[in-house]
Amino acid sequence: MKTREKSGANQLVELVVIVAVALGLALGIQAFLVKPYRIPSESMEPTLDVGQRVLVNRIGSRFSDPGVGDVVVFHPPRGADTNECGAPKPQDQACALPTNQQSSVNFIKRVVAGPGDKIRIINGHVIRNGVREKDSYIRACGPGDECTLPRQITIPKGYWFMMGDNRGASDDSRFWGPVPKKWIIGGAFATYWPPKRIGLL
């Protein structure tokens, strides 16, 4: 009888330990390796829909720079919610510098230019170093959208310029400036929800 009671107690302790270890591993993976992220707006359509969920590689950005074309999750500058630029911004030019503090919210956009690149925006298309980007993935701008900013800017060292794929419905670096590497959380590499959209990005 005592052996049976002892065995039951041991099983309970073992179960508690397994659950605790599993929970710890899950939290550790999310904190340092891979984090799920839910798409909150239509700014990345048609690539990512509202409510779609992606996995973000948190560790990769610590050891390598993002590349043009990567979809990344990051902290925008403080003031991004009101399209505040950190430098004087002529009407025909994209914002060249962000405010100097990061926001606590997360955004997801595509990297369209990196340090030293010279860019301007024509009808929502990025002209990078004199060459139009290959952008078959975007949703084109509609009439009246603020999608032409022909005055050229140069992306500062250590900064990346982000834009949503839905060029006419995205508040992005055009309005609040490029993002320093330390504000980048990681690259989105796969989508896992809804099931019909499971795949790599």
Active-site hit among 35, 89, 103, 109: 109
Residue partners of 32: CB distance under 8 A and separation at least 6: 58, 59
Contact 71, 110 (CB under 8 A): yes
Indicate if 109 belongs to the active site: yes
Indicate if 104 belongs to the active site: no
Give the tokens for residue 174: 């055009």
Q: How far is CA 166 from CA 39, 74, 92, 136, in A?
A: 13, 18, 20, 12
Active-site hit among 43, 103, 170, 173: 43
Distance CA 144, CA 130 (A): 25
Backbone dihedral region for residue 105 (phi beyond 0: left; psi -120 to 50: alpha; all else: beta): beta
Residue numbers annotated as active site? 43, 109
